[in-house]
Amino acid sequence: MRDFSSKIASALLCLLSLSVMVWATITWGTELTYTPPFLLGVFSLNFRCDDLARLFIFLFSAVTIAIAIFSPDYLQQYNNIHKGQYWVSFFLLAVSLLLVVVSADAICFLVFWEIMALSSAALVASDHLQKKVRKAALIYLGATRIASAVLCAGFLWMHVLTNSWIFVNWDFSRPSTYWPAFLILTGLCIKAGIWPFHLWLPYAYSAAPSTSSAFMSGFMSKVAMLALVRILVMGHLNSPYVIWTAFVLGCITAFWGVLFALVQNNLKKLIAYSSIENLGLILICIAFSLNASSNKQVLIAHMALVAAIVHCLNHGLFKSLLFLGTGAIEKSAGRLDLEYLGGLAKQMPTTWICMTVACLAACALPPLNGFPGKWLLYQALFQNICVKGAILEKTASVLSICLLSAVGALILSALVKALAVAFLGKARSTNAAEASERSIAMSVALVFLASCCVLSGLFANAMLTSVGSALASSGLPTVRVEVSLPTSFIVITLIGTSLACYFLFLHPVKTRKYVTWDCGYGSLSPKAQVTADSFAQPSARIFRPLLRYHNLSKIDGADRRHFPERIHVETRIISILETKVYAPLLAMVNVSSRSIARLQAGSIHIYLLYVCSTLIILLLLGVAF
């Protein structure tokens, strides 16, 4: 019975996203504004839907449809999740996200932003009987509270300066607006998981059910970036301090995320860190665009902004695919620890192919959809080196090209590690050996998202132009970008030569099956395979000082060199930020709140005294000023 209601909910969600998508397609090219006839307190709500918002609505529909199809079968494995609660929070989250995307003033934005934060926290806490999940939900809730507080402060400040709540009226080009701009940037960065505020993200994404992490990573984090574009970029921010802070934060985030992704052994955490990396890239794009437009280089600014939006959309697609694929593995193999997986490719071919597509896209490899955004960012950076400008900025561009290529190589190694250890070789545990595709609906969802990834990769040029026109219609200058991706050429050459090679060399050949080469020792145990740890070790060693990477090995036995009896190897990574910065900070907060807690005496008279004294003080203040 419960299952049935799950299916109804999922059908409703599909219907919602389909209808939103159809609506967005019909109204494409027009700018709609709507002000409801009622007031919220003394404030009127303003909604505005332009093409930029519609692009995000398309992303929303694609991600939501896949998740709606995926959810009912996926949720069966959780006995402790209350399905009704899950669906209610999911609906709340979906609707509030849609309304955040189209909200045009600060009050409206904040209201739905809060609903979004709370409902997503409820989603993270779905499986709340586990201690780990409760801790993650608490961390996430704390992060969103701080984010909202900072954001509120920024909004209020802007209201004081401009006397308006509507985003369009906010102009950030005056020096007095730099501090509120900084506050807004911080608030949105906390929500998006930008370094050094990224700590909540791996906790929350790995504790939440895969469907909600897919939605949060695929769509919710993008909304923070959209807000950044809407408020700061369209508000013509030109403070070099804020822009360079954002740029440096983006660079550090991209590198930091990918570095920690490399050494994770839990599939979900690995993907969560890679999503931090991608958000860093998007932030780099936005900051770079801001910088270029404050230097009056319209073309570069436009290219970088298009790169940001395109990467938002594409990252949303492939990252939700990655999380859903993880969910499929979780359902059939029971665990997500890479050390317990292996050999899944044969048992779960659909998941394997879809995950390979997602990983190819996440590594930004050419015919797929991760590539266009990154490529355009590279182009923008390169253009910046070539035009007239300050040496400092050019050097920064050179260094960020260097950083981007290193990040690209690192993410490749991290995702190859995840993919190969989980899907190739032999199963490392019985659960993994018995895994199989469990549900058709889940496979359908995966294939749907994978084909979205492939299609948006193939039609990348069309996507770039439509994003460009959407930006132009949202009030930014229209620019024609001369460069275009040679996608069709790549695809034709690749497919043509691949088929030719296959039929020339491999097709009719008879093959002989034999065991993997075992050096003559007889059958290899699955334990003899390379683990995720050992795969990442040579790369992690290079970044030892940053990761605090320790590899302890102890070999016991009488003649330990030749006949070891027991080998103990332990790898340890310490997140400096967590232990050296956040832990003391948290301890301080704890101590201070304990002393504040003394105010709570439990006696009603004392409370009344508080109320009375506060009232008197306020009255006195009112008289004095």
Partner 1 sequence: MSSIATWSSYLLTVIIFPPLCLGVVRKTKARLQNRVGPAVWQPFFDLHRLTKKRETLSDTMCGVFRLSTVVGLSTTFALAWFIPWVPIKPWSPHADIFTVIYLFALERFFTLLGAMDSGSAFGAFGASRDVTLNLLVEPALCLALVSLSIIANSTDLGAIFSFSHFSTVSLVWFCAGTSIFLTSLAELGRMPVDDPTTHLELTMIHEAMTLEASARNLFLLEFTRMLKLTLFLALSAQCYLRIWAGFATLAPFQQELLVLIGVLLMAIFVGILESLVVKLQWRKVPEFVAYIVTVSLISVFVAMAGNTSL
Partner 2 sequence: MNLSAPELCLLMAALVACLTLGSLHLSVNLGLFAIETVLIALATAFMGGITGDRELYVIALLIFCFKAFTVPLFLSWISDKLMAQRDIGSFLPAPLSMHLCLILFVLSFALAKEIPVSHAAGHSWPGASAGISLLLSGLILMLARRLAISQVVGFLVIENGIYTFALTQTRGMPLMVEMGILLDLLVAVMVAGLLIFKIQKNFEHIDIAQLKDLRD
Write the CA distances from 196 to 189, 248, 407, 545, integer angstroms. 9, 11, 18, 18
Q: Which residues of 523-544 are buried (b: 16+ CB within 10 A; e: fewer)?
A: eeeeeebebbbebbbebbeebe
The phi, psi pair for 571, rounded to 5°, reads -110, 135
Judged by CB under 8 A, which stretch of 433-441, 455-463, 491-499, 612-620 contacts partner 1? 491-499
Q: Binder to partner 1 among 247, 260, 535, 549 (CB under 8 A)?
A: 535
Least Å from the CB of residue 544 to partner 2: 11
- Among residue numbers 406 through 435, which ones bind partner 1 (CB under 8 A)? 406, 408-410, 412-413, 416, 419-421, 423-426
User: Which is nearer to partner 2, 399 or 500 (by Cβ)?
Assistant: 399
User: Which is nearer to partner 2, 240 or 486 (by Cβ)?
Assistant: 240
User: Which is nearer to partner 1, 76 or 537 (by Cβ)?
Assistant: 537
Question: Does residue 392 interact with partner 2 by CB under 8 A?
Answer: yes
Beta bridge partners of 40: 43
Least Å from the CB of residue 392 to partner 2: 5
The phi, psi pair for 33, rounded to 5°, reads -125, 150
Annotate 203-261 with DSSP letters as a single string. Answer: HHHHHS-HHHHHHIIIIIHHHHHHHHIIIIITTT---HHHHHHHHHHHHHHHHHHHHHH
Least Å from the CB of residue 24 to partner 1: 32
User: Which is nearer to partner 2, 395 or 498 (by Cβ)?
Assistant: 395
Query: Which amino acid does the sequence have at 588?
Result: M
Q: Are 80 and 39 in contact (CB under 8 A)?
A: no
Q: Residue 572: enclosing H or E segment and its boundaries? A: strand 566-573
Question: Does residue 526 interact with partner 1 by CB under 8 A?
Answer: yes
Separation CA 136–CA 124 (nearest Å)? 8
The phi, psi pair for 10, rounded to 5°, reads -65, -40
The listed partner (partner 1, partner 2, none) that binds 597, CB under 5 to 8 Å by sort, is none
Question: Does residue 252 interact with partner 1 by CB under 8 A?
Answer: no
525 DSSP assignment: P
The listed partner (partner 1, partner 2, none) that binds 390, CB under 5 to 8 Å by sort, is partner 2
Q: Binder to partner 2 among 1, 42, 391, 599 (CB under 8 A)?
A: 391
User: Which is nearer to partner 1, 501 or 587 (by Cβ)?
Assistant: 501
Q: Binder to partner 1 among 511, 553, 600, 603 (CB under 8 A)?
A: 511
Question: Does residue 497 interact with partner 1 by CB under 8 A?
Answer: yes
Question: Does residue 573 interact with partner 1 by CB under 8 A?
Answer: no
The listed partner (partner 1, partner 2, none) that binds 392, CB under 5 to 8 Å by sort, is partner 2
Question: Does residue 458 interact with partner 1 by CB under 8 A?
Answer: no
Least Å from the CB of residue 399 to partner 2: 7
Judged by CB under 8 A, which stretch of 239-247, 281-289, 434-442, 487-495 contacts partner 1? 487-495
- Among residue numbers 380 through 399, which ones bind partner 1 (CB under 8 A)? 382, 385-388, 391, 394, 398
479: left (phi over 0), alpha (psi -120 to 50) or beta: beta
- Among residue numbers 361 through 390, which ones bind partner 2 (CB under 8 A)? 390
Residue 590 DSSP SS3: helix
Separation CA 172–CA 242 (nearest Å)? 11
Question: Does residue 546 interact with partner 2 by CB under 8 A?
Answer: no
Total residues interacting with partner 2, rule: CB under 8 A: 5
Tokens 């970036």 sit on residue: 225
Least Å from the CB of residue 391 to partner 2: 4
Least Å from the CB of residue 28 to partner 1: 30
Closest CA to 285 of 190, 372, 386: 372
Closest CA to 483 of 367, 364, 379, 373: 379
Least Å from the CB of residue 364 to partner 2: 25
Least Å from the CB of residue 386 to partner 1: 6
Query: Which amino acid does the sequence have at 5?
Result: S
Question: Does residue 613 interact with partner 2 by CB under 8 A?
Answer: no
Separation CA 150–CA 156 (nearest Å)? 10
Q: Binder to partner 1 among 111, 168, 299, 365 (CB under 8 A)?
A: 365
Residue 517 DSSP SS3: coil
Q: Are 489 and 368 in contact (CB under 8 A)?
A: no
Separation CA 491–CA 489 (nearest Å)? 5
Total residues interacting with partner 1, rule: CB under 8 A: 79
The listed partner (partner 1, partner 2, none) that binds 412, CB under 5 to 8 Å by sort, is partner 1
Beta bridge partners of 549: 573
Beta bridge partners of 105: 166
Q: Which residues bind partner 2 (CB under 8 A)?
A: 390-392, 395, 399
